[in-house]
Amino acid sequence: MTEETKPFEPVIIGFTCNWCSYRAADMAGTARIKYAPNIRLIRLMCSGRLDPTFVFKAFAGGADAVLISGCHPGDCHYVEQNYKAMRRFHLLKRVLVQMGVEPGRLKLLWASAAEGAIFAAEINKFVEEVRALGPLNWAQPGEQVSTPIMEEVTA
C-alpha cells in the first residue's frame, strides 16, 4: 500500500485517572477486549489533575484528538474532583473552537473500573469520529480561522 492510499490514522492522547478509567483500560486488557491502537494513555491520579495546558500541549505536539476520562460523577475517589475536570472540559471546548480546532477533537468519557468494555467501545467510536474529521490542521500565520460552529455540549 502506498502512502497516499493508506487511511488516515489519527493519534489520540488519552488522560485517565488512577482509580476508574485507568482501571477500566486495565480491565479491557485483562478481558482481551480489542480496540483501535490509535490511543496512547497517560495516567493521572485524578481527572481533576488535568491541567488545560496538557490538552494544548498534546494538540501542539501533533495529537489529532484528546480524550479526558475519569470516574463517573459521584464516584470520584477524591470526592468531587471529576466535576472540576468536567468544568475544564467545557471551557476547553470553547477555547479550542476559538483556535480553529473542531470541538469533536476533545472528548470526555466517564468510565468506572468495571467498564472495560465501554471504555474500549468508546475509544473505537472516538477514533472513527476523529478519522472522519481528518488530521488536525493548524491555521497558518495570517490565515483566517474559520471557526467551527459550537455544537451543543452534552457530556
Partner 1 sequence: MSERIGVYVCHCGTNIAGIVDVADVSKWAGEKLADKGVVIARDYKFMCSSLGQELIQKDIKEQKLTRVVVAACSPHLHEKTFRNACKGAGLNPYLCELVSIREQDSWVHTDKVAATAKAKAIVSGGVARVIHHEALEPLRVPIHPDTLVVGGGIAGIQAALEIADAGFRVYLVEREPSIGGHMAQFDKTFPTLDCSACILTPKMVDVGNHPNITLLTWSEVQKVDGYVGNFAVTIKKKPRYIKTEDCTGCGICWEKCPKKVIDNVFEAGMGNRKAVYVPFPQAVPKYPVIDDVNCTYYLKGTCKACEKFCPTNAIDFNQKAEEITVQVGNIILATGYDLFDARRIPQYGYGKLANVFTNLEFERLCNAAGPTGGNIVLRDGKTAPKTVGIVHCVGSRDKNYNAYCSAICCMQSLKFAHLVRERTGAEVYNFYIDIRTPSKGYEEFYQRLLEEGTRFVRGKVAEVTSVARIPEEEGKLIIQVEDTLIGKQRRIPVDMVVLSSGMQSRHDSKDVAKLFGISCSADNWFIERHPKLDPVATMTDGIYIAGCVQGPKDIPASVVQGAAAAARVLGKIQQKEIALEPVRATINQDQCSGCRICNNLCPFNAILFHEDKMVSEVNPALCQGCGTCVAGCPAGAISGTGFSNEQILSQIDGLLLLNISHAAVPVE
Q: Which stretch, 52-60, 89-97, 99-107, 137-145, contacts partner 1 (CB under 8 A)?
A: 52-60
Sheet of 39-44, strands arranged across: 39-44, 12-17, 65-70, 106-110
Judged by CB under 8 A, does residue 84 bind partner 1?
yes
Judged by CB under 8 A, does residue 86 bind partner 1?
no
Q: How many CA atoms within 13 Å lie on the side-chain side of 5? A: 2
Residue 28 vs 101, nearer CB to partner 1: 28
What is the contact surface with partner 1 in residues (CB under 8 A)? 6, 8-11, 13, 19-20, 22-23, 25-26, 28-30, 32-38, 40-46, 48-54, 57-58, 61-64, 74-75, 77-81, 84, 88, 112-115, 120, 135
